[in-house]
Amino acid sequence: MNNAQTAPKVTKETKNKIRVDFERTPFWDRVKAKLVNLYTLKKVVWYLFRFLLLLGISYVILFPFFSKISSSFMGREDFVDVTVRLIPKHPTLDTYRAIIKDNNYLTALLNTFILSLTCGLIQTFICCFIAYGFARFKFKGNKLLFLCVIFTMVVPHTTLQLSLFMKFRYFDILNIMKFLGGGVIDAINITGGETSINMINTHWPLYILSFTGLAYKNGLFIFMLRQFFRNLPAELEESACLDGAGVMKTFVSIILPLSVTMMVTVFMFSFCWQWTDKFYTSLFFTTAGEPLLPKIIKIPKSLDTQYAGQSLYTAAINNTSGILIIAPLIVLYLFGQKYIVQGIESSGLTAQ
Amino acid sequence: MNLNIDAGKGGKKQKIQVDAPGKKRKRGASLDVKQARAGWLFILPFVLGFVLIYLPIIFKSIQYSFNEIDILVGGGYKLTFVGWKNYSDALFVDTTYVTTLVSGLKQLVLDIPSIVLFSLFVAIILNQKIAGRAAFRAIFFIPVILTTGLIADIDKANTLSSYMESSSGIDDGSGQTSTATEIVSVLDVERLFDNMMVGTEVVEYVVQMVNNIFNIVNRCGVQMLIFLSALQSISPAIYESCSIDGASGWETFWKITLPMVSPQILVNTIYTIIDAFTSSDNQVMTYISQVYEQADGNVLSSAMSWMYFLIVILFIAAVSGILSAFVFYQKRD
Nearest Cα neighbor of A344 from A233, A259, A287 is A259
ipTM of the complex in this document: 0.74
Q: Do B58 and A333 touch (CB under 8 A)?
A: no
Chain A: residue nearest B138 by CA? A337
The reply to whether CATH 3.40.309.10 applies to domain B89-156+181-324 is: no
Judged on CB neighbours under 10 Å (0-12, 13-18, 19+), A302 is exposed
Q: How far is residue B32 from each of residues A138, A140, B3, B235, measured CA to CA in Å?
A: 8, 10, 9, 35
Strands (E), chain A: 9-12, 18-21
Interface check B304 vs A, CB under 8 A: no
- Please list the alpha-helical segments (H only) found in B128-198: 133-140, 142-146, 149-156, 159-165, 180-187, 189-195
Higher-confidence position of B273 and A160: B273
The answer to whether residue A306 scores a pLDDT higher than 70 is yes
Chain A: residue nearest B59 by CA? A163
The one-letter code for the residue type at A93 is: L
Nearest Cα neighbor of B231 from B324, B141, B129, B143 is B129
A271 contact partners, CB below 8 Å, separation of at least 6: A116, A117, A119, A120, A332
Higher-confidence position of B74 and A47: A47
Q: Do B146 and A333 touch (CB under 8 A)?
A: yes
Q: Do A154 and B313 touch (CB under 8 A)?
A: yes
The answer to whether residue B172 scores a pLDDT higher than 50 is no
Least trusted range by pLDDT, from A41-55, A164-178, B309-323: A164-178
Q: Do B139 and A140 touch (CB under 8 A)?
A: no
List pLDDT tens digits, range A227-253. 788 877 888 888 888 888 888 888 888
Q: Do B154 and A297 touch (CB under 8 A)?
A: yes
Q: How far is it between the farthest Cα atoms of chain A?
A: 119
How confident is the model over B240-264, as a mean pLDDT?
Answer: 88
Euclidean distance between CA atoms A157 and A214, whole angstroms: 10
How confident is the model over B56-76, as a mean pLDDT?
Answer: 74
Higher-confidence position of B70 and A208: A208
Q: How far is it between the farthest Cα atoms of chain B?
A: 96
Q: How far is residue B313 from each of residues A19, A141, B54, B61, B84, measured CA to CA in Å?
A: 82, 23, 19, 17, 20
> In chain B, positions 77-106, which contact chain A (CB-CB < 8 Å)?
77
The answer to whether residue B180 scores a pLDDT higher than 70 is no
The pLDDT assigned to B4 comes to 46
**Range with top average pLDDT, A340-344, A345-349, B211-215, B252-256:** B252-256
The pLDDT assigned to A121 comes to 93
B213 contact partners, CB below 8 Å, separation of at least 6: A57, A60, B180
B161 contact partners, CB below 8 Å, separation of at least 6: A63, A64, A67, A68, B155
Interface test with A, best of B50, B124, B160, B288 (most A CBs within 10 A): B160
How confident is the model over B116-126, as a mean pLDDT?
Answer: 90
Confidence of residue B179 (pLDDT cuts 50, 70, 90): very low
Rounded to a whole number, what is the distance in Å from the CA of B82 to chain A's nearest CA? Answer: 18
Q: Do A213 and B49 touch (CB under 8 A)?
A: yes
Interface check B126 vs A, CB under 8 A: yes
List pLDDT tens digits, range A183-205. 554 444 444 455 667 777 888 88
Euclidean distance between CA atoms A285 and A297, whole angstroms: 15
What residues are paired with A18 via a beta bridge? Answer: A12
Interface test with B, best of A38, A123, A150, A166 (most B CBs within 10 A): A166
Cα–Cα–Cα angle for B204, B207, B210, nearest 5°? 150
Confidence of residue B213 (pLDDT cuts 50, 70, 90): confident
Confidence of residue A347 (pLDDT cuts 50, 70, 90): low
Interface test with A, best of B9, B43, B118 (most A CBs within 10 A): B43
Euclidean distance between CA atoms B32 and B30, whole angstroms: 5
Q: Which CATH class is domain A103-296?
A: mainly alpha
pLDDT, averaged across chain B: 74
List pLDDT tens digits, range A74-84. 877 777 776 77
The answer to whether residue B331 scores a pLDDT higher than 70 is no
The answer to whether residue A3 scores a pLDDT higher than 80 is no
**Range with top average pLDDT, A117-121, A325-329, B102-106, B148-152:** A117-121
The pLDDT assigned to A127 comes to 92
A139, A154, A278 ranked by CB distance to B35: nearest? A139
* CATH 1.10.3720.10 domain position(s) in chain A: 103-296
Q: Do A129 and B42 touch (CB under 8 A)?
A: yes
B239 contact partners, CB below 8 Å, separation of at least 6: B252, B256
Q: How far is residue A95 from each of residues A315, B113, B164, B319, measured CA to CA in Å?
A: 12, 41, 19, 49
Rounded to a whole number, what is the distance in Å from the CA of B217 to chain A's nearest CA? Answer: 7
* Percentage above 90 pLDDT, chain A: 6
**Range with top average pLDDT, A120-134, A139-153, A264-278:** A120-134
What is the pTM for the complete model shown? 0.77
Least trusted range by pLDDT, from A101-110, B25-34, B262-271: B25-34
* Percentage above 70 pLDDT, chain A: 86
Euclidean distance between CA atoms A213 and A148, whole angstroms: 12
Produce one character per residue of B243-271: b if its CB has 16 or more CB atoms within 10 Å, e if not: eeeebeeeebeeebbeebbbbbbbbbbbb
